[in-house]
Structure 1
């Protein structure tokens, strides 16, 4: 929109010009009366009277000078008013109503002056009305434009501030007590209570399901705040009591669309950074237990394999690298048998039921695992290595690092088991 608007109408009626000029001579008093009128109708949305009076005087002077043909209509004044009112959290509808009241007030003053002086006939009043309503539309448009630009900037600034504070809380970077309190104020959370962190993997395509997850939590009485990171969405969730973690996990299981990790419950928001690490490690364990949401405390072995992935992958390469000598289908059968046996608590009979085979077949496969890996399912230390290596392998199927396969195979043969 241009900064000014010059009417393309014919020259202003002499009588109208005289009336408007007279009004300009007492514009401050007229502006004050308009301010009092707007203030009386403002209800709960009131501006400081000094600001309102100054604004009404400036707006009225701008419109009257344009109406008298002395100057163009300065739309920048309306835009400035709109921006200022947005910064004061004044609703947009109140801004528009104020302008309409102002222009109606100008029209009523013109009619009263015309009747009192006889300087303007009906034809002149019709022309004046046309200009007034056109000016009203222009000024409202400029004010709303300025208002929305300022409101958008405020939202963007608030979002950036919210994101920066939340990032500081999640990482504990530069989080002194002053910043912690500012963060709590923005997040509308107390420092002490019962909290859990959720880290959920972003979908491969489409927008993250932040809003849907937050709405599901809100409906169930959980307050949460969310932060979108490069590879995950992170939520801090406030619980009503410490025993709600299982209920929360069940709720999230139906709300998240990708794998996710849930931290243990903690009582001080200052500790959020450490629990975000726990939640991320749980997420990286890739759905331990066959669920989308992995609770940190429920799958500590799987989480341990994911917590330091470099060590986990090296272990997986050492343990399962020798199986690469076998055909791919045979390798898969042995690893599936081991995984099922672990899930069945070491029961050969239960493993046979799940795999639809004879128990002796399971025993044969376990003996072959011992032969190729050098780890015995009967030795507790070896079982621990097999479990950790299996979880690491499931987290990254290509875990057996080719650089270590020769070393792993040689070590297996040296053990002679």
Structure 2
């Protein structure tokens, strides 16, 4: 009797592999080839021998997966393959941090060399050239897969680092820097330099990542450590490694947009960088009041404008660094400076008002410069000294100021 029809067409027969004998021998040799590759790595790669056992075991699995993936690829060379998933998916993502790209290339090269040296033994008679050509093509594919894995890891790490850096910069600028911010900065490669200052200015239009990278290039050229970010329309740079904030600002000024660039005072470490950042921010806000301000400018050079703009730290600094030292140096210096400024910086006029010789006025003014660091004969310094005298008198009249 004829067989009953099932209604289903017969499945097409799979075509036989053109190199069945070689494929079978390759499947049988995969374990020994992986063992030889691991032995060769242990013999020729010092960094492999120095690794902890756990990482070495993961690398062994990667080598085994690579040989198994080649076997499967040789079986079906036209089938779509995901070599990076097949080979590198056996190891945890952390392995890309444990070994460098160079070390991974050495590992792949060693494995390929072991497989290449075994071609004459593994290939069936007459298939040597076929297997060698297949291995060359596979080596190219595995090289691209290696580059892809590390590129993806670097991209993810770069995005994470950018977010981490932004958190540190924002913490410093907002006054919330703590030991956690220091730890995050250390994870970004910040080596706790002794001298730190903050530079603020306007961020240029366009891609903020390009601006940040330009700052990093300028910092490398100037041998500075930096943490930087674009916050709103402001470009913030925390720079370490030099005790001259003006020189730091000049070396980093290129990527800033047009407009004022203000450098805060030098502080000893990242935890104290908030003081520098707040001074720079206050200076950036008050800089419009000094139309001829240099670019870049120090926040301390903007003390009078900052004080007028209600910056309490600037007011305190003017009183404590100018008025109080003059007060302690004697009433004669305060009186002479006050009269000199009231007399439109005239030595003779001040001398007449004080009933002293002009040389006495000149000597006392030199003493004012020695005590405060500001010269009454300089127009800009005279303005700063005048504001300091006003604030000092107000503070004496009302202790709450």
Deviation at 1:202, TM superposition (A): 1.9
Show the counterpart of 1:55: 62
Q: 1:98 aligns with which of 87, 94, 107?
A: 107
Q: Which of 156, 179, 182 is equivalent to 1:180?
A: 182
**1:232 Cα shift?**
1.0
Write the deviation string for residues 277-332 of structure 1: whole angstroms up to 9, x where unpaired: 21011112236343122322222121234457xxxxxxxxxxxxxxxxxxxxxxxx
Alignment partner of 1:290: what SS?
coil
User: Are residues 181 and 304 of structure 1, via their aligned partners in 2, closer, same or farther at CA, if it must alter by over 3 Å?
Assistant: same
Report the counterpart of residue 17 of structure 1 in structure 2. Answer: 23
- CA change 1:274–1:240 in 2 (3 A) is closer
Superimposed CA distance per residue, residues 15-65 of structure 1 (whole angstroms, 9 cap, x where no aligned partner): 3234224324xx1x4312211213433344675321222222222223234
Summarize the alignment of residues 225-304 of structure 1 with structure 2, pairs less than 5 Å apart.
225-241=227-243, 244-245=244-245, 247-248=247-248, 257-286=258-287, 288=290, 289-304=292-307
The residue number in structure 2 matching 1:327 is none
Confirm or deny: 8 A CA contact 1:195 1:269 kept in the other structure.
Answer: yes
Residue of structure 2 equivalent to 1:112 = 121
TM-score, normalization: structure 2? 0.61
Could you tell me which of 136, 149, 154 is aligned with 2:152?
149
Following superposition, the deviation at residue 102 of structure 1 comes to: 2.2
Give the CA deviation at 1:199.
0.7
Change (3 A) 1:168 1:262: same
User: Are residues 58 and 159 of structure 1, via their aligned partners in 2, closer, same or farther at CA, if it must alter by over 3 Å?
Assistant: same
Gaps of 5+ in 1: 1-7, 115-119, 309-344, 349-379, 388-417
- Partners in 2 of 1:70 and 1:298 — Cα distance? 72
Residue of 106, 114, 125 corresponding to 1:121:
125
1:270 aligns to what SS in structure 2? coil
Asked if structure 2 preserves the Cα contact closer than 8 Å seen for 1:86 and 1:148, the reply is no
Q: Quick one: distance in 2 between partners of 1:213 and 1:74?
A: 39
What's the RMSD between the two structures over aligned residues?
Answer: 4.2
Match among 160, 163, 168 for residue 160 of structure 1:
163
Question: 1:307/1:253 Cα in 2 relative to 1: closer, same or farther (>3 Å)?
Answer: farther
Q: Displacement of 1:163 after TM fit?
A: 2.0
Matched position secondary structure for 1:203: coil
Number of matched pairs:
300
Structure 1 residues 216 and 272, CA gap change in structure 2 (3 angstroms): same
Q: Distance in 1 between matches of 2:48 and 2:232?
A: 41
Distance 1:255 1:88 in 2: 32
TM-score, length-normalised on structure 1? 0.59
Q: 3-state SS of the aligned residue for 2:265?
A: coil
Match of 1:80 among 72, 79, 89: 89
Residue 224 of structure 1 is aligned with which of 223, 226, 243?
226
Structure 2 counterpart SS, 1:269:
coil
Q: Does the residue aligned with 2:259 lie in a helix, a strand or coil? A: coil
Q: Which has the higher contact order (CA 8 A, sep 6+)?
A: 1
CA contact (8 A) 1:200 1:234 kept: yes
Aligned mates of 1:303, 1:153 — CA distance in 2: 42
2:74 and 2:222 map into 1 onto residues whose CA distance is 59
Structure 1 CA distance for aligned equivalents of residues 15 and 151 of structure 2: 31
Against the structure 1 CA distance between its residues 33 and 292, is the aligned structure 2 distance closer, same or farther, given a 3 Å change threshold? Answer: same
